[in-house]
Amino acid sequence: MPRLPAASLAVLLLSACTPRPREAGGEEQPPPQVVLYGARMESYQGETLTLSGTAERLTYQRAGGDVQGTRAVLKVPPGQGVSKGPAGTSGGMVVSAPNMEGNLASKQLVASGGAVIRTGEGMVIETPRLTYDANTAQARGNEGVTVKGPDYRLRADRFEVSTQDETFIFEGSVETELGAAE
C-alpha cells in the first residue's frame, strides 16, 4: 500500500475541508458532509462532561449542524446530587438505539428503531422512539414504554425522564407488576 508523505496528506485533508468554489451561477455549494466510522464523541458544557458516546457510523452536516448516527450509544453522567446506585454503582444513564438524529445547535436528539435506556440502578426502559433535549436534560416518548427493574415491571403509554435528577413520570394507561422476576 503506497504511503503519502505527511505534507501531502495535510494538503489532501485541507482541500477536502475547504468550501467548494462557486459555480457559473454564482451560488456557493454547501460544504461537504462529514462521515465518520467508529466515531467516539464527548460533549461539554464549560468544563463539565454532559454526554459521551459512540456510533458505528456518524454523519455531520456542517450547514445547520445536523448529526445522524447508527448503532449509537450515549452515556449521560449522573446529575448534581444524584446518589450512587446499589452496590456502589454509579448513577447516570446509557441510551442506545439503531438510529439517532440530532442537531448540535438546538441540542435536540431523536432516538428511533427501538431505543433502550439503562440506569445505574438496574432499570431498563424500552420504547420505539424517544426525544432528548439537552437544554432541559429531559427525555420523553409518546409511543409506549416498557420498564423492567430488579423486582418490578411497568408498561405505560407515555413517559418523561429527567436525566438531571433521574426522576421518571409515566402517563396514560399505566400497568405495574411488583415482585416480578426478571
Under 8 Å between Cβ of 159 and 145: yes
Give tens-digit pLDDT for 124-145.
999 999 999 988 889 999 999 9
pTM given for the model:
0.72
In a domain, 102, yes or no: yes
Alpha carbons 47 and 177: distance in angstroms, whole number: 42
In a domain, 160, yes or no: yes
Mean pLDDT across 163-179: 89
In a domain, 25, yes or no: no
Give tens-digit pLDDT for 68-82.
999 999 998 876 433
CA distances 129 to 24, 145, 152, Å, are: 44, 9, 22
Residue numbers of the domain that contains 106: 30-178
In a domain, 101, yes or no: yes
In a domain, 3, yes or no: no
Question: Is pLDDT at 170 greater than 70 in this prediction?
Answer: yes
In a domain, 74, yes or no: yes
pLDDT band at 9 (very low <50, low <70, confident <90, very high): very low
Total domains in the chain come to 1
Share above pLDDT 90 across residues of the chain, in percent, rounded to a whole number: 43
In a domain, 20, yes or no: no
> What CATH number should be reported for the domain holding residue 115?
2.60.450.10
